[in-house]
């Protein structure tokens, strides 16, 4: 291929494994909450790379951190530590319940580490028979074989041979089902405080209290998957801070790097002590470039200005979606918290979430789905209010087109 030959969507089918089906649009530039494709068409970004681009595209603080660290040191094996990793771990410890941090590259890897730690902790303290992991229907915890088996969507885990054992799935928010299942064989209860991929479903406060109480009763660990809800997405640095429940292990990724791959598992000193030298590792975990950017992300996001701004932007987006629905009657509700919102399609439009996404792209709006019946919105935490208004106007045009057929 010549240097000047234009890269096209058709080449994806020629050279890429076919597990994705990307749209025809190929973005080439982004600034803030606007994106431009190869043809120069502009989009308002209500997708944020699936809750990743928490500060939009090419935020000056993140670009500056990348450039500065890029001229210092890029990578070290974990036989040595590095300054950005130490700084970021310290910030996470100071800002949360955690006392210890483990770095990885993705949410799946952070969840893999959390699940391995929970099993190792239980085995060390109580014996090998204490191995049951309780998770919930519609949950999503990653795509490694362990995490996809713990996730509550069989379509993602079937077809790859025998699954890891001692994993139980229960209905989300069902206290009675949880009470009936938890036992002294349970080593961990894992959940998202707000299910993302499963349809933007909030955990009831009473359910979270029951999880904590039952875990304590049976010497099990509570694992919060905050890969999507963390780093300001719901208007607090982490979603558990909106509740009265503190987990034993928390995982964070996506927005932690603002678009650069990084993840972390947070826990206490006592629990962390069971991942002794050699029991787990990651080549790139704690990478200096990633951690330098993570430091910049936290410095911007973990401020009253940004976190309070999330709540204000939530109201603007929620009000705008409800106003659209008053005209077109396509949703049963707008649910979720902060800037992780889902418009739930009514009976007439069941199964057609992707139709709204595609129509939105045609109108210059990037959005997401959360299953076939929910349109998901995860814009930048600092999206300008004018961009919210413009994005809603484009989404309304998209809705009108879908309704008109």
Give the residue ranges of the annotated binding site. 107-108, 140, 143, 225-228, 282-283
Tokens standing for residue 228: 């999507």
Query: Cα 344 to the chain's mean position, in Å?
Result: 19
Query: Cα 323 to the chain's mean position, in Å?
Result: 28
Concerning whether 174 is annotated as a catalytic residue, the answer is no
Q: Which residues contact 173 (CB under 8 A, 6 or more apart)?
A: 201, 203, 204, 207
In the annotated binding site for N(2)-acetyl-L-ornithine, the residues are: 143, 282
Catalytic residue among 43, 103, 136, 140: 140
Catalytic residue among 225, 260, 377, 387: 225
Tokens standing for residue 107: 């949410």
Catalytic residue among 46, 254, 260, 387: 254
> Nearest-CA neighbor of 224 among 243, 189, 245, 250?
250
67/142 Cα distance (integer angstroms) = 30
Concerning whether 41 is annotated as a catalytic residue, the answer is no
- What is the sign, positive or negative, of the torsion defined by CA atoms of 353, 355, 361, 362? negative
CA 193 → CA 116, 241, 265, 273, distances in Å? 20, 10, 16, 26
Q: Are strands 374-377 and 340-345 parallel, antiparallel or unpaired?
A: antiparallel
Convert 231-270 to b/e letters by CB count within 10 Å (16 or more is b): bbbbbbbbbbbbbebebbbbbbbbbbbbbbbbbbbbbeee
CA 14 → CA 17, 33, 300, distances in Å? 9, 31, 41
Concerning whether 140 is annotated as a catalytic residue, the answer is yes
Q: H or E segment at 377?
A: strand 374-377
47/357 Cα distance (integer angstroms) = 10
Please calculate the CA angle 34-38-40 and round it to the nearest 5 degrees: 55
Enumerate the active-site residues. 140, 225, 254
């Amino acid at each position: 291929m010549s240097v000047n030959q234009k890269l096209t969507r058709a080449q994806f089918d020629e050279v890429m494994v076919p597990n994705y089906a990307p749209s025809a649009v190929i973005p080439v530039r982004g600034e803030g909450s606007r994106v431009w494709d190869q043809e120069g068409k502009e989009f308002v970004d209500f997708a944020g790379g699936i809750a990743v681009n928490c500060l939009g595209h090419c935020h000056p603080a993140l670009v500056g951190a990348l450039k500065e660290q890029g001229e210092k040191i890029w990578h070290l094996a974990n036989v040595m530590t590095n300054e950005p990793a130490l700084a970021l771990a310290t910030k996470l410890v100071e800002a949360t319940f955690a006392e210890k941090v483990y770095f990885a590259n993705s949410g799946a890897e952070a969840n893999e580490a959390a699940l391995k730690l929970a099993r190792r902790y239980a085995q060390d303290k109580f014996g090998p028979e204490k191995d049951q992991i309780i998770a919930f229907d519609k949950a999503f915890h990653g795509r490694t074989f362990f995490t996809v088996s713990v996730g509550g969507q069989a379509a993602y885990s079937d077809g790859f041979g025998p699954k890891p054992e001692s994993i139980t799935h229960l209905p989300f928010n069902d206290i009675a089902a949880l009470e009936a299942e938890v036992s002294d064989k349970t080593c961990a209860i894992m959940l998202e405080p707000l299910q993302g991929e499963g349809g933007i479903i909030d955990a009831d406060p009473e359910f979270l209290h029951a999880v904590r109480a039952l875990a304590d009763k049976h010497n099990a660990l509570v694992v919060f998957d905050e890969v999507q809800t963390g780093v300001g997405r719901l208007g607090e640095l982490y979603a558990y801070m909106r509740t009265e429940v503190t987990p034993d292990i928390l995982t964070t990724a996506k927005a932690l790097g603002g678009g650069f791959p990084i993840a972390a598992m947070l826990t206490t000193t006592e629990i962390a002590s069971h991942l002794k030298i050699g029991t787990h590792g990651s080549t790139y975990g704690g990478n200096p470039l990633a951690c330098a950017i993570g430091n910049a992300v936290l410095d911007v996001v973990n401020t009253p200005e940004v976190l309070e701004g999330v709540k204000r932007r939530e109201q603007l987006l929620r009000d705008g979606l409800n106003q659209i629905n008053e005209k077109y009657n396509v949703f049963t509700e707008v649910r979720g918290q902060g800037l992780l919102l889902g418009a739930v399609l009514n009976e007439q439009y069941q199964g057609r979430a992707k139709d709204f996404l595609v129509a939105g792209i045609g109108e210059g709006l990037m959005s997401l789905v959360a299953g076939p019946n929910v349109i998901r919105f995860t814009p930048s935490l600092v999206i300008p209010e004018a961009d919210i208004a413009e994005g809603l106007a484009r989404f309304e045009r998209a809705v009108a087109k879908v309704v008109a057929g």
